[in-house]
């Protein structure tokens, strides 16, 4: 514990956000960082608890609280306070492969379990983590670590999302020869194309890719295993094959089929096309994007001047809100089936359980600034869709819903018409895509995930196949994907070598 009275002397201070009126002019990351002296004060607030729930990842009340990576948070907070940034990063990197990702996009399960948060404000663990990794890059603490000895074992990793990257990183450092196959033109999976640039600048992913390549990992982009490359080729050429293909099969909205109605899209497709276009622009300003779309791009999905409705209240729905605002949407409505959460914890949801409270994210804040009101409409879904003569969506009918006896039912008499020129479906995912599983003849469970020897194992019995990440556990967080990748890598290593020191 660096300073035994730190939690009493210093108040929590977050990294600052650029105001909505300025940040909606571009697609850049919008956080500004504390100077090192103020960051050390924030680290001093950590109490080095005897039982640090922040690194526990325990299931309470049906939800996990604490870090799934079991980051050694009190240890590196102590080192930050003392100014030992290199030592602090070593402790962080021991359990976390990519803190530059989680330091930007993780909802900070650690902070929800922080002892300081029981009767006050939690330690700024999330911001401290980002400070550490960016300081490490800046000061040269992060350098290529090429294994001195190679095992001669070859491993193929299919998918380069956070779980695939974690598997590859761990096994490469162990000395195995790792090749990663990615169907998109850039590595990163949903990190690259499912999370907007303002939350995770794509140069951060490219920086990590370059480091991994320098360490010996080989990346093959634009290779769709199961289509461009046969499963048998991988099985014949590699000693182990790890499937980290994600859970990208979108949950459909029965009344609005994107294949039949113009102006209806799955959110992940919308975000992907936006990011791909941005990466082709000279800069990430709104003006540059508009010029590029008008003069060059043809398959871009543009919300400019349109009444947009987003179905789904999770992180992806919020990301769509922030994106269409930057595109110049005329209006935004976000429909959520669940009831509106309370602003403060209820007595039945005590610390250190995950706080089931209303979260107003960056997209909601921007919508409030631009349109003067919160875009969210709770306990509501789409009942029907109206199109014009050309098949373009022009209006939707919503209806209130309620859960009765565990089933979702419509509330009669609550129907309402809303203008809609663009409908984005952000209702989550229902498992891995069919062709990816069928290519390897995989058995799937009720959630569309790959069946392994047991839920907490990654080996597919009787084969040289393994699976991790969303493909294995279902749609989840980046931090869980990294944790799964690390655990899976240990199983692969044991399979190849008979033991593992990972």
pLDDT at 378: 97
Say whether domain 264-425 belongs to CATH 3.50.50.60. Answer: yes
Matching CATH topology for 154-249+430-497 and 264-425?
Answer: yes
Sketch the domain layout of the chain as residue ranges: 6-139, 154-249+430-497, 264-425
Determine how many CB atoms are found less than 10 A away from the CB of residue 8. 10
CATH number for the domain formed by residue range(s) 6-139:
1.10.1060.10
Which CATH superfamily hosts domain 154-249+430-497? Answer: FAD/NAD(P)-binding domain (3.50.50.60)
Start-end of H helices in 96-161: 99-105, 109-112, 125-139
Enter the tokens of residue 345. Answer: 């914890």
**Other C-beta atoms within 10 Å of 364: how many?**
21
Strand (E) or helix (H) holding 493: helix 478-497
Per the CB < 8 A criterion, the answer to whether 76 and 179 are in contact is no
**pLDDT (tens digit, 0 to 9) for every residue of the chain, 502 residues total?**
778 899 999 999 999 999 999 999 999 999 999 999 999 999 999 999 989 999 999 999 889 999 999 999 999 999 999 999 999 999 999 999 999 999 999 999 999 999 999 989 999 999 999 999 999 999 999 999 999 999 999 999 999 999 999 999 999 999 999 999 999 999 999 999 999 999 999 999 999 999 999 999 999 999 999 999 999 999 999 999 999 999 999 999 999 999 999 999 999 999 999 999 999 887 888 988 888 888 887 789 999 999 999 999 999 999 999 999 999 999 999 999 999 999 999 999 999 999 999 999 999 999 999 999 999 999 999 999 999 999 999 999 999 999 888 888 999 999 999 999 999 999 999 999 999 999 999 999 888 999 998 889 999 999 999 999 999 999 999 999 999 999 999 999 999 999 999 9
Query: 379: which DSSP letter?
Result: S
Give me 354's structure tokens.
């995950």
Q: Which of 489, 501, 398 is nearest to 163 (CA)?
A: 489
The Cβ of residue 409 has, within 10 Å, a number of other Cβ atoms equal to 11
pLDDT at 329: 98
Backbone angles phi and psi of 237, in degrees to 5: -100, -15
pLDDT of residue 4: 87
Contact between residue 275 and residue 202 where contact means Cβ atoms under 8 Å apart: yes
Whose CA is closest to 436, among 478, 465, 457, 479?
465
């Amino acid at each position: 514990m660096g300073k035994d009275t730190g939690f009493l002397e210093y108040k929590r201070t977050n990294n600052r956000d650029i105001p909505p009126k300025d940040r909606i002019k571009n697609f850049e990351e919008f956080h500004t960082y504390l100077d090192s002296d103020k960051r050390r004060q924030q680290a001093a607030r950590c109490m080095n608890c005897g039982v640090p729930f922040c690194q526990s990842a325990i299931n309470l009340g049906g939800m996990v609280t604490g870090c799934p990576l079991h980051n050694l948070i009190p240890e590196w907070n102590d080192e930050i306070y003392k100014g030992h940034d290199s030592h602090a990063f070593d402790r962080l990197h021991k359990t976390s492969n990519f803190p530059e990702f989680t330091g930007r996009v993780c909802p900070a399960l650690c902070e929800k379990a922080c002892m300081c948060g029981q009767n006050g404000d939690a330690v700024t663990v999330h911001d401290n983590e980002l400070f550490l990794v960016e300081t490490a890059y800046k000061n040269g603490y992060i350098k290529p670590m090429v294994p001195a000895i190679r095992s001669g074992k070859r491993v193929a990793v299919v998918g380069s999302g956070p779980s695939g990257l974690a598997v590859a990183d761990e096994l490469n450092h162990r000395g195995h020869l790792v090749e990663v196959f990615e169907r998109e033109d850039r590595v990163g999976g949903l990190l690259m194309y499912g999370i907007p640039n303002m939350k995770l600048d794509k140069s951060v992913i490219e920086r990590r890719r370059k480091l991994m390549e320098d360490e010996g990992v080989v990346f093959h982009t634009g290779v769709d295993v199961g289509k461009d490359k046969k499963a048998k080729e991988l099985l014949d050429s590699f000693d182990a094959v790890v499937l980290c293909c994600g859970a990208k099969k979108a949950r459909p909205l029965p009344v609005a089929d994107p294949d039949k109605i113009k102006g209806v899209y799955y959110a992940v497709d919308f975000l992907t096309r936006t990011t791909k276009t941005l990466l082709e622009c000279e800069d990430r300003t709104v003006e540059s994007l508009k010029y590029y779309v008008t003069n060059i791009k043809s398959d871009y999905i543009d919300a400019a001047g349109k009444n947009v409705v987003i179905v789904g209240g999770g992180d992806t729905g919020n990301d769509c809100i922030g994106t269409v605002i930057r595109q110049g949407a005329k209006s935004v409505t976000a429909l959520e089936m669940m009831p509106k959460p309370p602003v403060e914890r209820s007595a039945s949801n005590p610390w250190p359980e995950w706080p089931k409270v209303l979260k107003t994210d960056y997209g909601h804040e921007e919508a409030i600034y631009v349109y003067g009101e919160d875009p969210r409409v709770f306990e509501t879904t789409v009942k029907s869709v109206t199109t014009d003569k050309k098949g373009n969506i022009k209006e939707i009918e919503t209806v209130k819903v309620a859960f009765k006896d565990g089933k979702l039912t419509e509330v009669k008499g609550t129907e309402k018409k809303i203008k809609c020129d663009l409908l984005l479906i952000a209702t989550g995912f229902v498992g891995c895509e069919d062709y990816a599983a069928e290519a390897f003849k995989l058995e799937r469970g009720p959630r569309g995930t790959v069946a392994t020897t047991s839920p907490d194992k990654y080996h597919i019995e009787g084969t040289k196949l393994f699976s991790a990440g969303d493909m294995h556990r279902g749609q989840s967080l980046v931090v869980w994907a990294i944790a799964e990748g690390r655990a899976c890598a240990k199983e692969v290593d044991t399979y190849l070598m008979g033991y593992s020191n990972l």
